[in-house]
């Protein structure tokens, strides 16, 4: 998958949650979007692959989890949101 397609998929996914999602989904997608934006823009600038993007996303989220940035219930919401997004790729 091309990273430009990934960007479109992410935007569509987030837009749908904003329009129809629950408060929990909005929280999780908002948190996830911060990571997505940083990683995707870096990958686009460095002309990295889709696989590299996925790996960097996993690393970024794992660092956040290890740093206890999120309470366990919020972490589960973000993980679920990330899995849902990945199923769209």
What are the pLDDT digits (tens) for 16-26? 999 999 999 99
Task: Give pTM, 2 decimals.
Answer: 0.91
Domain extent at residue 12: 3-86
For residues 7-11, give the mean pLDDT: 96
Task: Give the Cα separation of 17 and 11 in Å (integer).
Answer: 10
What are the pLDDT digits (tens) for 24-53? 999 999 999 999 999 999 999 999 999 999
1 pLDDT above the threshold of 90:
no
Domain count, the chain: 1
Give the helix/strand (H/E) hosting 70.
none
Long-range Cβ pairs for the range 73-82 (8 Å, 24+): 74/27, 74/28, 74/31, 77/24, 77/25, 77/27, 77/28, 78/28, 78/31, 78/32, 80/28, 81/17, 81/25, 81/28, 81/29, 81/32, 82/32, 82/57
């Amino acid at each position: 998958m091309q990273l430009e397609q990934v960007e479109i998929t992410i935007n569509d996914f987030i837009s749908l949650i904003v329009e129809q999602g629950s408060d929990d989904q909005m929280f999780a997608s908002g948190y996830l979007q911060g990571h997505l934006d940083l990683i995707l823009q870096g990958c686009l600038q460095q002309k990295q692959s889709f696989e590299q993007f996925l790996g960097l996303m996993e690393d970024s989220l794992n660092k956040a989890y290890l740093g206890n940035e999120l309470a366990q219930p919020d972490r589960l919401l973000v993980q679920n949101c990330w899995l849902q997004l990945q199923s769209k790729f």
